[in-house]
Structure 1
Amino acid sequence: MTAYVALLRAVNVGGTGKLPMRDLVAMCERAGFSAVRTYIASGNVVFSSNETEAAVKADLEEALHAYAGKPVAVLVRTADELSGVLADNPFPGVPPNKVMALFLDHAPAATEIETVSGLTSEILQLGKRELYVHYPDGMGRSKLKIPAASRGTARNMNTVAKLVAMASEI
């Protein structure tokens, strides 16, 4: 069995995409995933499965579409991949709540950084299948617009570390 972390996009954020975490757990269990646990009510779920990453993503997106009546994007990483995201953080000396990983399905092109707007003090770095963003003044004050964000979902390094710890317990 492989330990996975699924990150749901636009769930329980700003009053949109309401999904009680108990319903997410039940969906995952019906899909055949085991050792299912959620972390905070923003669409983070850890579980194990014998399926491939692509199959896990497809199963979860199908279940979420049936539940919500609309597509809900899911970004999936193995426990090892998520651990790598944490280890590869290009801003290790920065408070973890000021560094976000924007998770994507595919490796970001070098041009992804060139397409941002509203850049002031923020610093962006490419990852394997993510973009790292350091928000020195905090994300809430930033005017940064990242076009890739429309097809991904972001988590700060505190959340990534907690999910890595949870996945390592499976």
Structure 2
Amino acid sequence: MKKIALLRGVTPVGQNKIPKMSYLVQILEEAGLNKVKTYIQSGNIIFETDLSDKEVAQLIHDTIKSKIGADLAVIIKEPKQFEVTVAENPFDDSYDSSRIHLVFTNDEINRLNLDQLLSQDFGDEELHAGSQCLYMYLPRDAKKKRLNTNYLEKQLGIVATMRKLSVVSRLSEMAK
């Protein structure tokens, strides 16, 4: 079955750096994943496996930790979920699409905590919930900048990672 892994915390330098995506493909194929492809340097991986989401997340985490030394959280999604996220995007053409971000988690989000968060006023920034992810609009010129992955993780008690809409759209296409 085809799946998409999103690595959380990849950095261009330092401990959580992935040296080359080609090396990442190599070590993940050696670990047993099939037809591994990556997209851009921030840790987006498309592959095939029969493992459960939990098993494959652990396999990817442990493989990267032992071979590269990076300790990265791994969010697993299916291509269909990405198709849904693109289709459910709540922001119309009046928004700058380059400022639309999608937040993914493997964790169950507490509905009460989410409702409290969604009821807050973030000024120029916007937060919406979809069936597969959270959507954020983060204009460059926002007066107060509060919305980011760390803030959402703290407020919702989850581990999450964020991708731009354009990246999610491209991964959705690549996974077809």
Fold shared, TM-score > 0.5 on shorter chain: yes
Q: Aligned pairs, how many?
A: 166
Match of 2:104 in 1: 103
Match of 2:50 in 1: 50
Match of 1:91 in 2: 91
Match of 1:128 in 2: 131
| Distance in 1 of aligned mates of 2:143 and 2:17 | 25
| Distance in 2 of aligned mates of 1:8 and 1:142 | 28
Structure 1 residue 139, shift from structure 2 partner: 8.4
| Distance in 1 of aligned mates of 2:55 and 2:174 | 22
Match of 1:22 in 2: 22
Structure 1 residue 138, shift from structure 2 partner: 3.0
Aligned-residue sequence identity (percent) comes to 25
Which runs of no fewer than 5 residues in structure 2 stay unpaired? none
Aligned Cα RMSD in Å? 2.6
| Distance in 1 of aligned mates of 2:6 and 2:141 | 19
| Distance in 1 of aligned mates of 2:162 and 2:174 | 18
Q: For the Cα contact (< 8 Å) 2:16–2:71, is it kept in 1?
A: no
Q: For the Cα contact (< 8 Å) 1:106–1:129, is it kept in 2?
A: no
Does residue 1:148 correspond to 2:156, yes or no?
Answer: no
Q: For the Cα contact (< 8 Å) 1:99–1:134, is it kept in 2?
A: yes
Structure 1 residue 23, shift from structure 2 partner: 2.1
- After superposition, the Cα gap between the structure-2 partners of 1:101 and 1:158, relative to the gap in structure 1 and judged at 3 Å, is same
Does residue 1:62 correspond to 2:58, yes or no?
Answer: no
Does residue 1:161 correspond to 2:163, yes or no?
Answer: no
| Distance in 2 of aligned mates of 1:140 and 1:160 | 23
Q: TM-score, normalised by structure 1?
A: 0.83
| Distance in 2 of aligned mates of 1:14 and 1:124 | 30
If you compute each CA radius of gyration, which structure gives the higher value, 1 or 2? 2
Structure 1 residue 35, shift from structure 2 partner: 1.4
Match of 2:74 in 1: 74
Q: Deviations over 1:45-71 (max 9, x none)?
A: 111112222221111111122134453
Q: For the Cα contact (< 8 Å) 2:17–2:70, is it kept in 1?
A: no
| Distance in 2 of aligned mates of 1:142 and 1:104 | 25
Q: Secondary structure at the match of 2:109?
A: coil
Structure 1 residue 16, shift from structure 2 partner: 5.6
